[in-house]
Structure 1
Amino acid sequence: MVECIIINQIDGGFMSRYKKRKNMYEKPAVSFKRWVAGMWLIAVIVFVPLVFHNYYYDILPFKYHFLIGAHCLTFFLFTAYTFLSDNNKKHEFDDLPSLVSYIIKSIKNLNFTNVVNFVKSANFAEKAMLVFIAVYTISTLTSDRYVLQSFMGNEGRYNGLLLMSMYVIMYFMLKKHIKFSRHIITAFLSAGLFICIFGITDYFNMDILRFKVDIEPIDRNNFTSTIGNINTYTTYVGQFIAVSGTLFMLSPADFDRTEGKVSIGRLLFYYICMAVGFMALAMGKSDNGYLTLAAFFGILPFVAWRNRRGFRRYIITLATYFSVIKIIGVLNKSYADTVIGIDGIYQYIAEFKYMNFVVLFLCAAALVICVIDYKTSAYDKKLPVILRQIWLAFLVIVTGCVIYLFYKANTDPDAVNKFGSVKNYLIFNDNWGTNRGYIWRVAIEEYLKLPPVQKIFGTGPETFGIYMKALRYEDMVVRTRQYFDNAHNEYIQFLFTIGPFGVLSYIIMTLGTAYLCIKAWAKGLVKEEQGVHLVAAAFLIICYAAQATVNLYVPITSCIVWGFMTMSAGMLKDVKFKTAQSSDTKDVKSSQIYETKSDKDVKAQSQGNGKKSDDQTAGFESGEIKSEKGSESSEPGSDKNSESGEGNPEKGSESGKVKPGKKSGNTKARHRKKA
């Protein structure tokens, strides 16, 4: 009898707990379509920048064909699975005619009502995407005798209708099946870390993979890493910095790796990626990188300065960047005979006579802020709002000063000599930006001469080089001693080739996606960790859009933008925006509600177990308060359970929200976890 009681207790106690724990860690089987979608995303954002065939001699065509192959294989697997899945077992495909008949019947079922419902279900960024591909198609069909060239894009950088249509098809086909996965971002950063380190070794003329053996010495410095052209390389590094830097600034971390937080090791990995990216960007010797840095450091405070953690890490990031530039300056002097050497804006900063003081001041400021945050949890809720307003005023003043300097340098000949060597950046002429001033002027002049239809829909995708060769080749060679087959500005390039509606829809599509990502995070419509990755995707798009003003649209980097847009759409597909009326503008109520099935299950389980949640915040917040039946919840990105020890909610609280009817707990320092 005693043995039976002991066995029953073991079975009912230990074994039941074991089964519950086992069920908790068991993961559901990944569907085939979700697996294919994940493989496509990895191929696009990880392998396209890495793969090569004959070193730099065919690097762009090979990466393009690899990308097309990934699109085609994914489309084939999705289509084959759809026909062979259990949902279509009732259809018998004994021969080819029966299969064709079924496909035709399926196409006929796509009536006008279904198309209208599909368009209505899309958000404004996706509607802009549909307009973009529609204009792209019309531009291809109206490109006169260059229809084939416009479709294939082989007269330019392969951005024809074929590639663009595949981007759009993959977006709408895969967004329902792509799930948030931290491992995919880790793979992207790991590949980027290798590419950046490879580029840094090229700066020291090491050529560890023997890419430059047969390249003429005069052209060796124009190519680097597994990317190729130095400008494309800096664009990629800018994307790498945008993701790693945003994740470092916004990710809440904890030694215990609690729900919604990252480990200290992962946070350190983000920091290392960001620091290496800063070094690789400077050693890329392209001033285009400063457009990325301007967007990164200029816009990110509006997102990061919502709590003490974001402000603290922003100062650390700023100190890291200037320290990296100082280190590069020291390396240039120590290994002057080995390194390629930096020039332009990077050289001005590295040789700034007060550079040592700037680095020491930023490092000291970062250290002081970390110590203050460690020892106290006192805060002022209005402080982050005030800081962001001050930062906005600062940006307006700086922008106004830059515009004034441009105006003064280009209208007052007597003031030119006062600017010194900076005048090369301020005086806009044909030589500005390595002859970009010339090709931009010529592109606008020739666009204004186009017939009315081509002014609306452009000359056709990737036909810019064809028209420039026919209209301005001799003048171009005489003035610049080179031939431009691209406008070296994505927006001017699209204006000339697909018209103003194409440019406008492209801008709305990209920046609109970034806006939705940031909005979903800021309003708390997604979980904390997922929201941070959405913001990282948004800043990748923003930084890319900044560099697009002086760079080319090439598949090597544009595919990464499309990949992150598709991944973001997958994370946002369940988000529901419901606007709630509110008469009080100071206490902003929860205007948007998001709840997935998994959230409902967690909530039901927590209620069944009688768990309590306690809303605690530490560090300063933005002042935005979400209320629901008298309960309060902290703003996304607050310093709950951060690694610096600003608050530790009680066990059982997963979402940080307070149950209806329960008021938030006291935010005292007794719950802090020292790290």
Structure 2
Amino acid sequence: MGKKKNKIAAVSVPDLFGKGITNVYLLVMFGLFPVFYPGSLIGIHTVKKEFFTISAGVYLCLMLIPFLCKASFVFKGKERKKIDRSDIFAGLFLIAALVSTGIALNQTEAVYGNSTVQTGLIVMLLCIGSYFFVKNFAVWDKGLIWANLLASSFIYLCGIFIACRTDILNMQKDIIDAQKAMFVSPLGNINFNVAYISLVLPAAAVMFLLCKEVFTKRVLAAYLFVGFMDLFCLRVDSAIVMILVVFLFLIYFSFEQETWFLRCLSVIGLFFAANIAVFILSVLLKDHMYPFNSLGALFVRTETVVLEFIFLCIFFVMQKKGNFTKERLWKGQKMYKITMFVLLGLFVVFVLALNFAFSERVEGTLLSNLVLNDAMGSGRGYVWIRTGGRFLDLPFLNQLFGCGLGCFYDFINPWYDDMVAKFGAVFYDPHNDFLQVLVTTGIVGVVGFFGMILHTMAAALKKRKNQEMFLAVFILLAAYLAQGLINSYTIFSTPILFILLGLANSSMGNTD
């Protein structure tokens, strides 16, 4: 009996101490990290890096005790440890990060990161360490959900108020007028906000589909409405691309149950209502609101708003009178899938035709954003073309393992004078997740980084049949990849991404 008690006491060290510390760490990262700022947005990159470095550093040090205890149980055969593919991919990314530092273009920036991106080796080691410990010790609970909802709601409200040129917290006090439209919350500029939102808002949309409590459903409805308003107020194309991908998958899966389908109509209705609200604000405030451009300008046109209002009326009638049997929903899902594949194929053909035959004819129009040239995507085409070209000229070892984390500025430096002449600024990142990972950690890093994400998505898709909430994991990671086509990873979102990957794999492992 005594031996059994001792064994239980020993096992309780990693289970209780480790899980307790991990839950505190998750509360800090979900509830405090996004909203923390020192009273001004000047130097916010450095502030976030220091916050994460201290928080993650303390967490990893404290976790050594439960980790060593758990490792001893595995070593003695008292506990089995399963190494899945996500761990292998994380290990590959870790190897790429370490090797890339050894062959980096700039050793200092490879280790510490540059002043803008801040994702050097130290940050990535803390991210990977957080992933492994969270994966082994995390327990998802309602407290984390509420902390996440409150923190992200604060981010949304900041974005909405600042879009209306109202800085109620005086965050922009030291920012020059020309930059105030870009820096909208404690997460820095609008692109960084989109990357963060892609990791939180899609999960809430799935929760709205699944929740059974009336109060929770109402809270989520209000949360989604404010979040959608912020997406429009950010005035950036990546926000629209991201949310369209969310709806693409959300609609498809909603056909599986009548309740889901009806609630999906409600989510789309909230999206339309949020856009109408932003349109009304733009009319009432007129010149007191930052101007919309590109896709954002399309959504605040009167014709678009009228069309959305018509759809809202149709959705209302469908929810009141619709009779959606399983057979009708199954046929609808099948038709939807075929339609999406056909439209995707037509879109690919259309983009290819624009690039190879009609690029000059669409110059100066909205369609020019689909033509790969220097002007594409506010200059993104310029950096994409040169990034891809120079990568192919790198030595083979650098192609395998990259040029060092935080070294993109040094990588693109040969075009420094040209960038300053054309854009009045220098690119510190390629505004594309794939290119960022490829240049900094090479082909091995790409396999590791995106392997973690894609494997987690595949596992979530498989496990959702028994645990419906895993659908949120799939959709939010799809949203993150979508916005990553136009943005690069930064200190504002990368730690959250790795923690979510660890949390998702932990939850899916517990269902085996």
Q: TM-score, normalised by structure 2?
A: 0.90
C-alpha contact (below 8 Å) 1:301/1:314 kept by paired residues: yes
Q: Which of the numbers 132, 145, 166 marks the counterpart of 1:172?
A: 132
Out of 344-353 and 280-289, give the one that drifted further: 344-353
Aligned to 1:444: 388
Alignment of 1:67 with 2:52, yes or no, is: yes
User: How many angstroms apart in 2 are the aligned matches of 1:219 and 1:155?
Assistant: 18
Larger Rg: 1 or 2?
1
Partner of 1:184: 144
Alpha-carbon shift at residue 570 of structure 1 (Å):
2.2
> How far 1:415 sits from its partner (Å)?
7.5
Contact kept, 8 Å, 2:134 with 2:499, in 1: the verdict is no
The 1:445–1:317 alpha-carbon spacing in structure 2 relative to 1, beyond 3 Å, is same
Structure 2 counterparts to residues 251-650 of structure 1, below 5 A: 251=211, 253=212, 263-351=213-301, 353=303, 355-360=305-310, 362-372=311-321, 379-380=325-326, 382-413=327-358, 416-417=361-362, 421-469=365-413, 471-522=414-465, 524=466, 526=467, 531-532=468-469, 534-576=470-512
CA distance in 1, matches of 2:46, 2:489: 14
Equivalent residue number for residue 6 of structure 2: none
Name the CA distance, whole Å, in 1 between partners of 2:308 and 2:118: 45
Mapped to 2, the partners of 1:340 and 1:476 lie a distance apart of 26
Determine the structure 1 residue equivalent to 2:197.
Answer: 237
CA contact (8 A) 1:45 1:563 kept: no
Output the CA distance in 2 between the equivalents of 1:237 and 1:414.
Answer: 33
| Distance in 2 separating the partners of 1:416 and 1:535 | 42
Q: In the alignment, what sits opposite 1:216? A: 176
Moved more, 292-301 or 146-155: 146-155
Alignment partner, residue 53 of structure 1: 38
Higher helix content, 1 or 2: 2
Aligned to 2:21: 36
Cα distance change, pair 420–136 in 1 and its aligned pair in 2 (3 A): closer
Q: SS of 1:335's equivalent?
A: helix
The residue aligned with 1:607 is none
Pair 1:131-2:131 in alignment = no
Task: Work out whether residues 156 and 465 of structure 1, in 8 Å CA contact, stay in contact via their aligned partners in 2.
Answer: no
Superimposed CA distance per residue, residues 377-398 of structure 1 (whole angstroms, 9 cap, x where no aligned partner)? x723x33332222122221222
Taking a change above 3 Å as real, the CA distance of residues 149 and 334 of structure 1, as seen in their structure-2 partners, is closer
Q: Which amino acid aligns with 1:348?
A: L
- Is residue 156–residue 462 contact of structure 1 (8 Å, CA) maintained in 2? no
Distance change >3 Å, CA 415–CA 310, structure 1 → 2: farther
Distance 1:477 1:172, change over 3 A: same
SS in 1 for 2:341: helix
Q: Residues of 2 paired with 1:298 and 1:53: CA distance?
A: 39
2:361 partner SS: helix
SS in 2 for 1:207: coil
Secondary structure at 1:206 match in 2: coil
Question: Quick one: distance in 2 between partners of 1:461 and 1:176?
Answer: 26
Note the residue ranges of structure 1 that are not aligned, 5 or more in a row.
Answer: 1-29, 89-105, 254-262, 577-675
Q: 1:82 to 1:565 in 2, by over 3 A?
A: closer
Pick closer, same or farther for the CA change 1:66–1:343 going to 2, 3 Å: same
List runs of 5+ in structure 2 lacking aligned partners: 1-14
| Number of aligned residue pairs | 496
Structure 2 distance, partners of 1:152, 1:132, is 17
| Corresponding residue number in structure 2 for 1:153 | 113
Quote the Cα distance in structure 2 between the aligned partners of 1:519 and 1:338.
49
SS in structure 2 at match of 1:288? helix
Which residue type is aligned with residue 389 of structure 2?
Answer: E
1:483: how far off? 0.9
| Structure ranking higher on relative contact order (CA contacts 8 Å, 6+ apart) | 2
Taking the aligned partners of 1:213 and 1:148, their CA distance within structure 2 comes to 32
Code of the aligned partner of 1:37:
T
In structure 2, C-alpha distance between the alignment counterparts of 1:453 and 1:495, rounded to whole Å: 12
Which AA in structure 1 matches 2:35? L
| Partner SS state of residue 31, structure 1 | helix
CA distance in 2, matches of 1:307, 1:174: 33
AA in 2 matched with 1:569: N
RMSD (Å), alpha carbons: 2.6
2:176 and 2:141 map into 1 onto residues whose CA distance is 43
The CA deviation at 1:343 is: 2.2
Moved more, 336-345 or 545-554: 336-345
- Alpha-carbon distance in 1 for matches of 2:298, 2:214: 36
1:572 is matched by which residue type in structure 2? M
Mapped partners of 2:139, 2:283: distance in 1: 48
After superposition, what is the alpha-carbon deviation per residue over 1:11-55, rounded to whole angstroms, capped at 9, x for unaligned?
A: xxxxxxxxxxxxxxxxxxx92221110111112222111111251
Cα 1:75–1:357 shift into 2, 3 Å = closer
Aligned 8 A contact 1:490 1:551 in 2: yes
How many Å separate the matches in 1 of 2:89 and 2:177?
45
In the superposition, relative to structure 1, how do residues 571 and 271 fare at CA in structure 2: closer, same or farther (>3 Å)?
same
SS in 1 for 2:288: coil
- Tell whether the 8 Å contact from 2:242 to 2:483 is kept in structure 1 after alignment: yes
C-alpha distance in 2, partners of 1:408/1:573? 46
Report Cα offsets for 1:337-394 as digits up to 9, x if no partner: 321132221221321526424422x223332333246xx7x723x3333222212222
Superposition deviation, residue 82 in structure 1: 6.9
On the 8 A contact 2:163/2:290 being kept in 1, the answer is: yes
Q: After TM superposition, give the deviation of residue 423 of structure 1 in Å.
A: 2.7
Q: Who is 2:11 aligned against?
A: none
Matched to 1:367, the amino acid is F
Q: Give the distance between the partners of 1:494 and 1:414, measured in 2 at CA.
A: 29
Contact map agreement 1:287 1:345 (CA 8 A) in 2: yes
Q: Secondary structure at the match of 1:224?
A: strand
Aligned equivalent of 1:248, options 201, 205, 208: 208
CA separation of 1:129 and 1:354: change in aligned 2, threshold 3 A: closer
Match of 1:194 in 2: 154
Deviations 1:173-198 (CA, angstroms, capped at 9, x unpaired): 23232112022112101111111112
Is 1:50–1:226's contact at 8 Å kept on the other side of the alignment?
Answer: yes
